[in-house]
């Protein structure tokens, strides 16, 4: 099968996944304790008002009818009206999603900048003091909960030293980057530890390979061997790992955005769950599932370019 056919096949496999995710999120959203209309109207709402709004929103119909309506609207890219914010769900997500995507991109770049050079240093000094020190420092970031790291960074660098804002998003790209640095660093600390340990192990494995010994025997310099042979082979595992952890970064953004008051989809998801905003919960889950699936597909394509034996 050629590469184009393989890509089409992978995309076709994603469609049933979206349907199953839609079923699960639809059921779980309605298993949340409480009532969406009561949460929307408040404690002083009368029974008559609750019944009227419930009928207007179609929440008094059967679960099957509501699910079919949800799937039909989702297939057309229409997710209905937010119960809590009283605006179209699509416009609400399009406003918040770029914030989370920028946060995820910053966290990935910071993690790569931290992990790549230190992984080489650790691998070149395997089992000596630089290697032991680097692994020990990264182990602290790996074992610390994201919310705890965020609170520490917020307390020290924002509230204490006042080097960064305590929350918000700012106006303009420079202000966005400035406001998102601490949240991105929070996500990057644990992510960089995973990348560093994986890349270190891959470099050590490649350095013991026969083709590296052959390159040394040809008289190639250590720099050429590292950049041309070792880095490309070791990067295969790292690229796959980064792609697989994009979903974890998006999940970590839910906590991080709440800690730093960042107006992204993670914080929107938390607010929607508390307000029983079914349309937003369902739409956000599907949108994030699409992003993660496309990231996995891009990872497979890059993996196939680095290692043609892998197929796609």
Delimit the domains of the chain by residue range. Answer: 89-310
Q: What is the pLDDT of residue 6?
A: 66
pTM of the entire predicted model: 0.82
| pLDDT above 70: percentage of residues in the chain | 89
152 vs 31: which has the higher pLDDT: 152
249 vs 175: which has the higher pLDDT: 175
| Superfamily of the domain at 89-310 | MetI-like (1.10.3720.10)
Q: What is the pLDDT of residue 191?
A: 87
pLDDT mean across residues, the chain = 81
The pLDDT tens digits for 6-18 are: 667 777 777 787 7
3-state helix/strand/coil string of the chain = CCHHHHHHHHHHHHHHHHHHHHHHHHHHHHCCCCCHHHHHHCCCCCHHHHHHHHHHCCCCCCHHHHHHHHHHHHHCCCCCECCCCCCEHHHHHHHHHHHHHHHHHHHHHHHHHHHHHHHHHHHHCCCCHHHHHHHHHHHHHHHCCHHHHHHHHHHHHHHHCCCCCCCCCCCCHHHHHHHHHHHHHHHHHHHHHHHHHHHHHHHHHHHCCHHHHHHHHCCCCHHHHHHHHHHHHHHHHHHHHHHHCHHHHHHHHHHHHHHHCCCCHHHHHHHHHHCCCHHHHHHHHHHHHHHHHHHHHHHHHHHHHHCHHHCC
Q: What is the pLDDT of residue 99?
A: 92
Q: What is the pLDDT of residue 3?
A: 64
The pLDDT tens digits for 257-307 are: 888 888 888 888 888 888 888 888 888 888 888 888 888 777 777 767 666
């Amino acid at each position: 099968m050629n590469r184009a056919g393989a890509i089409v096949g992978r995309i076709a496999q994603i469609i049933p996944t979206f349907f199953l995710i839609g079923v699960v999120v639809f059921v779980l959203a309605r298993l949340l304790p409480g009532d969406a209309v009561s949460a929307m109207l408040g404690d002083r709402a009368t029974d008559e008002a609750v019944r009227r709004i419930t009928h207007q929103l179609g929440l008094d119909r059967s679960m099957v009818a509501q699910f079919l309506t949800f799937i039909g609207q989702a297939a057309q890219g229409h997710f209905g009206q937010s119960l809590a914010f009283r605006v179209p769900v699509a416009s609400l997500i399009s406003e918040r999603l770029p914030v989370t995507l920028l946060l995820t991109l910053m966290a990935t770049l910071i993690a790569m900048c931290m992990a790549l050079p230190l992984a080489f240093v650790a691998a070149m000094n395997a089992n000596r003091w630089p290697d032991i020190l680097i692994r020990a420092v990264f182990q602290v970031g790996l074992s610390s909960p994201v919310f705890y790291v965020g609170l520490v960074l917020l307390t020290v660098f924002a509230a204490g030293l006042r080097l960064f804002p305590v929350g918000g998003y700012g106006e303009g790209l420079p202000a966005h980057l400035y406001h998102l640095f601490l949240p991105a660093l929070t996500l990057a600390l644990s992510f960089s530890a995973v990348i560093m340990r994986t890349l270190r192990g891959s470099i050590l494995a490649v350095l013991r390979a026969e083709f590296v010994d052959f390159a040394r025997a040809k008289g190639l310099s250590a720099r050429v061997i590292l950049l041309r042979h070792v880095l490309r082979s070791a990067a295969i595992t790292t690229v796959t790992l980064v792609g697989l952890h994009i979903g974890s970064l998006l999940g970590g953004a839910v906590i991080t955005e709440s800690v730093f008051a960042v107006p992204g989809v993670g914080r929107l998801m938390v607010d929607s769950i508390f307000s029983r905003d079914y349309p937003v919960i369902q739409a956000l889950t599907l949108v994030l599932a699409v992003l993660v699936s496309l990231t996995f597909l891009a990872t497979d394509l890059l993996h196939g370019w680095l290692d043609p034996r892998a197929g796609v």
